A and B are shown apart, each in its own frame.
Chain A
Amino acid sequence: MIPIPPSVTRAPISRRAFLRGTGVALALPFLDAMWSQRAGAAAASTAPKRMVAICTSLGIYGPALFPKETGREYISTPYLDLMKEHRNDFTVFSGLSHPDQAGADGHSSEMTWLTSARHPGLGGFRNTMSVDQFVAEKIGVETRYPSLSLGTSYTSQSHTRSGVMIPAEAMPSKVFAKLFIDGQPWEVEQQMSKLREGRSIMDTVNEEAKRFSARVGAADRDKLDEYFTSVREMEQRLLKTEEWAKKPKPKVDVQPPQDIKEESDLIGRMQLIFELVPLALQTDSTRLITILVQGRGDVPPINGVSMDHHNLSHHGQDPEKIKQLELIETAQMGALNKLFTALKQKSEGGSPLLNNTMVLFGSNLGNANSHDWHNLPVLLAGGGFQHGQHLAFDAKDNTPLCNLFVQMLQKMNVETDRFGTSTAASVQGLA
């Protein structure tokens, strides 16, 4: 755990004062003491907003997840029961999906869950930007890492503006080191000298552009303005990165995780990754995390499960297969429940970390049995929304999942009224 002094009711310290006092520039965890004790609610609203998106790629067995009733009075289901202590902290959605996800094969939509690009993998397909990277472009420089792309394999859900996948980090020990263990002095120096070289290149071309500007006509100077702007932005970014490189990483008093060697232990590995989430967020090392839990073609070490996960997801309505699938998914929901608990237990400014953290959980397949990408399982927790309901949309004529994304983007204070295939800036019923 982070060495947090117990909250003391006295004059809060400003970040700046704290910095001066320590005499060294530190990457500051959001310490409780820095939140004004009197104006707790107001301060909490200025805490950074975070977004975590978790996709489990083999679907979730619908009948065990979706309640039959809608609204606040829904009767819980086996899966939601596993998280009943958090019932008022999440909303379960049905009838959401991305349009036109028929792709190269039944699982292609796992690369578009956060992008909504149409017809994944078919001829001429090019992915678009994922929702986390869209935010990272805007606020990424605020934190040491603009975003973290995690997963149970190298495949992630994060895609850049040009549609290129950002490979996922699958080893919890490496993520931990990246977040909390400082590099060797020579490694830091090497990175710094690369950044300095980048800045001297920017200096040189900036001078070139001034000379260039004097030689061309007025019409071309507009174009040059764009050039100057991007040079300036790049300089800023290099500078910020350099500052981060100079600062020591935050310290947490948790033992570095031991990676699980058993690849088939999907749930165990997923659990370890989940445990890093509250640490990364509370130290403000990043505000954006995506996690892809990629179902596997082998048998997970879970009591009562004798068939492989992928095969079970194609249960063909065989009761025995459904029973085993439910065992796996129950374990997954249990891991999610623990994540919610951990995010709720940590507090900043007197309110739980979960209040400033949106956790989106779901799958790119609605019914994995038939590779159906309609009616996706979607659950949104935290972030300051009024939760505790089942919001059901038309199962025959789905509402775009991107409508929810836009609402989440706005919650992140990103000014936009559209994203991907959105048709509206919010989903009905969520406030």
Chain B
Amino acid sequence: MRVYRDNYREKQMVGWYDIPPDQARVVEVTTQLSTNEHLRIEPTYTGVDEKGQTVYNIGPQNLKAPGLALMWVEMEGPLQPEWPPASLHNLFGDTPLTKLDEKKNRDKRLAYELTPEDPKAAAKMALESFAARAFRRPLEPVEADRFVQLTNDALDHGRKFVEAMRIGLRAILTAPQFLLFEERPGKLDDYALASRLSYFLWSTMPDEELLNLAANHTLSQPKVLHAQVERMLNDPRSKAFVRNFAGQWLDLRNIDATSPDKRLYPEADELLINSMVQETESFFSAVLKENLPVTDFVQSDFAMLNSRLAMHYGVPGVEGEEIRKVALPADSVRGGVLTQASVLKVTANGTTTSPVRRGAWVMKKLLGDPPPPPPPGVGSIEPDTRGATTVREQLAKHRNSETCASCHSHIDPPGFALECFDVIGGFRDRYRIQEKGELITLKNSGDRRQYAHLGPPVQCDGELADGRAFASIQDFKKLLLTNPNQLVEALAGNLVTYSTGAGIGFADRFTVVEIAANTQKAGGGLRTLIHQIVQSPLFQNK
């Protein structure tokens, strides 16, 4: 069962829920509905018969197939717990609130107004405290006055208190002190450090505890920093770090950049696509939470799955929509991020896979060794889903040319190993094609019609540039793991760039190598790596 927010034009999935056969289940959803939106509930993989007729068209009494029965729906709201809201107190302190006369008030959206005894004094107090929070540091002398002046001018022109306040507040929120980080060259002061830390691990402004530590100049002490990193990583706000960092590092933000061809991949529904991103984020969270080795990003003995992903991967015994940790059998092709559906999808287009694109991705993202761009004027390979030639055959030309081979002997092999995964990360030993051949029957698709045919067999063996051969994806991962330092250094470089907002300069390379080496000595965990970065001069200096 799927639940959407819908305004008749666009719908956004709020969640989906496994409903076991012949068993009722209570589902509770908390969501925010905007004006003109309603909840929309739809059955998934049910309510359609073998001929493809849906319950909407033929009516429930005529449907000869399983369906979804809703017994009741109850809505509760608004969920605002208190009045006046806490945000009002945060902004205006104890400024009194007066109910407007309903008969005289023409603007029906307003029911109250703020009525301070001394508007200018109230404005000064409110703007000063707001600016200090917005700028994430104590204000300099007279700094707030310039914003207060704007509000005072408006009050002098007879504007109402709230309208005049809006002008001062807007100016604060447009000011560079709010929009930009103020980092002076050299060692960061405690407040700049608090901001850097907070935007790194929470993607938001520092909380009171961090600002207090900055105020008494203890934040930069190694022990204090260590304790703060632990506190921040254990705080739910660290989800923002996982989403933003993994989203950029592993390109999860591109998950919807292409839509899988419906005729070749009818099983690529939104449950699967949504679950893909959840899987990788949950995996990153698990590695972070348990301080698992960075090498787990290449190979792990577990995966984070729900029923939809388990169906996609062919892992038995996983029921329900909740993502949980599942132990993988020793011979599984899964484990690590490389073989997660999200990564395999963002490195493919909607129709075909390219070993060049995937290989370049592995070099850049996991090995920290981006290949140079192709020389101008060379053609690209032309994908062909009619089944005549495989991409391997087309790429063979590259390897026979010496100029091409110097780069492609590095780029192509990781892509060859990943060739056993299709554009949505399904494992394959034969390609899917659009013409001729044996039709594919899919169990895990809402669309029962068959379009895709079985094509030529997939070849996923290869040889690294240094001559070491692999026969399968499992072999390939083992080869990657023989040089764990490279993996840790690559991730360290990405984390440093993310946390400081600056690229790694030539001189910084040695510091990154040292960070990685220290991390490896202490077990190679992701959490350890983050501590090492925060304690390093790269993080604490501008």
Contact across chains for A201 and B167 when beta carbons are under 8 A apart: yes
| Bound Cα distance A217, B501 (Å) | 14
Contact across chains for A205 and B176 when beta carbons are under 8 A apart: yes
Contact across chains for B150 and A201 when beta carbons are under 8 A apart: yes
Which residues of A from 108 to 167 have beta carbons under 8 Å from B?
108, 111, 118-119, 121-125
Contact across chains for B153 and A205 when beta carbons are under 8 A apart: no
A204 CB-CB contact with B under 8 Å: yes
Contact across chains for A223 and B180 when beta carbons are under 8 A apart: yes
- Contact A121:B170 (CB < 8 A) given known A197-B154, A227-B176, A227-B179: no
Contact across chains for B147 and A123 when beta carbons are under 8 A apart: no
Among B8-16, B80-88, B235-243, the one that faces the other chain is B8-16
B-side contacts of A197, CB under 8 Å: 150, 154, 167
- Cβ of B353 to closest chain A Cβ, rounded Å: 20
- Cβ of A273 to closest chain B Cβ, rounded Å: 22
B273 CB-CB contact with A under 8 Å: yes
Task: Provide the A286-304 mask, 1 if CB < 8 A to any CB of B, else 0.
Answer: 0000000000000000000
| Bound Cα distance A121, B174 (Å) | 33
| Bound Cα distance A249, B10 (Å) | 38
Closest to B269 in A: A123
A224 CB-CB contact with B under 8 Å: yes
Query: Which one of A102, A119, A121, A207 lies within 8 Å of B9 (CB-CB)?
Result: A121
| Bound Cα distance A204, B151 (Å) | 12
- Cβ of A420 to closest chain B Cβ, rounded Å: 15
| Bound Cα distance A223, B176 (Å) | 11
Contact across chains for B154 and A208 when beta carbons are under 8 A apart: no
B-side contacts of A100, CB under 8 Å: 259
Task: Provide the B144-183 mask, 1 if CB < 8 A to any CB of A, else 0.
Answer: 0011011001100100000000010011001111011111
Pick from A119, A122, A197, A217 the residue with the most CB of B within 10 Å. Answer: A197
- Cβ of B160 to closest chain A Cβ, rounded Å: 13
A220 CB-CB contact with B under 8 Å: yes
A-side contacts of B44, CB under 8 Å: none
| Bound Cα distance A108, B176 (Å) | 41
B-side contacts of A227, CB under 8 Å: 176, 179-180
B397 CB-CB contact with A under 8 Å: no
Closest to B10 in A: A121
Closest to B270 in A: A123
Which residues of B from 248 to 287 have beta carbons under 8 Å from A?
255-256, 259, 262, 270, 273-274
| Bound Cα distance A108, B8 (Å) | 10
| Bound Cα distance A121, B177 (Å) | 38
- Cβ of B184 to closest chain A Cβ, rounded Å: 6
- Contact A209:B176 (CB < 8 A) given known A124-B256, A200-B153: yes
Task: Provide the A208-245 mask, 1 if CB < 8 A to any CB of B, else 0.
Answer: 11001001110110011001000000000000000000
Query: Which one of B11, B170, B262 lies within 8 Å of A201 (CB-CB)?
Result: B170
- Contact A224:B180 (CB < 8 A) given known A123-B273, A205-B174: yes
- Cβ of A207 to closest chain B Cβ, rounded Å: 7
Contact across chains for B13 and A123 when beta carbons are under 8 A apart: yes
Contact across chains for B175 and A208 when beta carbons are under 8 A apart: yes
B388 CB-CB contact with A under 8 Å: no
B502 CB-CB contact with A under 8 Å: yes
Contact across chains for A205 and B180 when beta carbons are under 8 A apart: no
| Bound Cα distance A104, B7 (Å) | 12
A386 CB-CB contact with B under 8 Å: no
Task: Provide the A325-364 mask, 1 if CB < 8 A to any CB of B, else 0.
Answer: 0000000000000000000000000000000000000000
B96 CB-CB contact with A under 8 Å: no
| Bound Cα distance A118, B350 (Å) | 13
| Bound Cα distance A416, B428 (Å) | 43
A-side contacts of B147, CB under 8 Å: 204
Closest to B350 in A: A100
A-side contacts of B223, CB under 8 Å: none
Number of A-B contacts (CB under 8 A): 80
Query: Which one of B11, B171, B183 lies within 8 Å of A217 (CB-CB)?
Result: B183
- Cβ of B40 to closest chain A Cβ, rounded Å: 11
B-side contacts of A121, CB under 8 Å: 9-11
Contact across chains for A104 and B11 when beta carbons are under 8 A apart: yes
Contact across chains for A123 and B542 when beta carbons are under 8 A apart: no
Contact across chains for A212 and B180 when beta carbons are under 8 A apart: yes
Contact across chains for B184 and A215 when beta carbons are under 8 A apart: yes
Contact across chains for A205 and B175 when beta carbons are under 8 A apart: yes
| Bound Cα distance A57, B58 (Å) | 28
A-side contacts of B262, CB under 8 Å: 102
Query: Which one of A201, A202, A212 lies within 8 Å of B177 (CB-CB)?
Result: A212
Contact across chains for A215 and B182 when beta carbons are under 8 A apart: yes
Closest to A111 in B: B9
B-side contacts of A219, CB under 8 Å: 502
A-side contacts of B181, CB under 8 Å: 220
Query: Which one of A118, A208, A224 lies within 8 Å of B259 (CB-CB)?
Result: A118
- Cβ of B267 to closest chain A Cβ, rounded Å: 15
A-side contacts of B375, CB under 8 Å: none
| Bound Cα distance A202, B176 (Å) | 11
Query: Which one of A102, A123, A207 lies within 8 Å of B12 (CB-CB)?
Result: A123
Contact across chains for B184 and A104 when beta carbons are under 8 A apart: no
Query: Which one of B174, B176, B273 lies within 8 Å of A224 (CB-CB)?
Result: B176
| Bound Cα distance A68, B9 (Å) | 36
| Bound Cα distance A215, B192 (Å) | 13
A193 CB-CB contact with B under 8 Å: yes
B-side contacts of A200, CB under 8 Å: 150, 153, 167
B-side contacts of A193, CB under 8 Å: 157
Contact across chains for B157 and A217 when beta carbons are under 8 A apart: no
Closest to A102 in B: B262
A-side contacts of B174, CB under 8 Å: 201-202, 205
- Cβ of A225 to closest chain B Cβ, rounded Å: 12
- Cβ of A37 to closest chain B Cβ, rounded Å: 50
| Bound Cα distance A102, B274 (Å) | 19
Closest to B11 in A: A104
| Bound Cα distance A300, B10 (Å) | 28
- Contact A217:B185 (CB < 8 A) given known A201-B170, A212-B180: yes
Contact across chains for B153 and A212 when beta carbons are under 8 A apart: no
Closest to A193 in B: B157
| Bound Cα distance A111, B150 (Å) | 41
| Bound Cα distance A31, B84 (Å) | 58
Which residues of B from 114 to 168 have beta carbons under 8 Å from A?
146-147, 149-150, 153-154, 157, 167
Query: Which one of A122, A204, A217, A223 lies within 8 Å of B150 (CB-CB)?
Result: A204
A-side contacts of B273, CB under 8 Å: 123-124
Closest to A210 in B: B176
Contact across chains for A123 and B274 when beta carbons are under 8 A apart: yes
Contact across chains for A201 and B171 when beta carbons are under 8 A apart: yes
Which residues of B from 490 to 542 have beta carbons under 8 Å from A?
502, 542
| Bound Cα distance A200, B9 (Å) | 40
Closest to A123 in B: B270
Closest to B170 in A: A201
Contact across chains for B171 and A220 when beta carbons are under 8 A apart: no
- Cβ of B119 to closest chain A Cβ, rounded Å: 17
Contact across chains for A208 and B177 when beta carbons are under 8 A apart: yes
Contact across chains for A216 and B183 when beta carbons are under 8 A apart: yes
Q: Which residues of B approach A to under 8 Å, CB–CB?
A: 9-13, 146-147, 149-150, 153-154, 157, 167, 170-171, 174-177, 179-185, 255-256, 259, 262, 270, 273-274, 502, 542
A-B contacts, 29 listed (Cβ < 8 Å): A111-B9, A121-B9, A121-B10, A123-B12, A123-B13, A123-B273, A123-B274, A124-B270, A193-B157, A197-B154, A200-B153, A201-B171, A204-B147, A204-B149, A204-B150, A204-B175, A208-B146, A208-B175, A209-B175, A212-B176, A212-B177, A216-B182, A216-B183, A217-B183, A217-B184, A220-B181, A223-B180, A224-B180, A227-B176
Given contacts A123-B11, A125-B10, A207-B146, 8 further A-B contacts (CB under 8 A): A118-B259, A121-B11, A123-B256, A123-B274, A200-B150, A205-B176, A212-B182, A219-B502
Closest 10 CB pairs of A and B: A124-B256, A217-B185, A123-B270, A212-B176, A201-B171, A209-B176, A208-B175, A205-B175, A121-B10, A205-B174
Q: Which residues of A approach B to under 8 Å, CB–CB?
A: 100, 102, 104, 108, 111, 118-119, 121-125, 193, 197, 200-202, 204-205, 207-209, 212, 215-217, 219-220, 223-224, 227
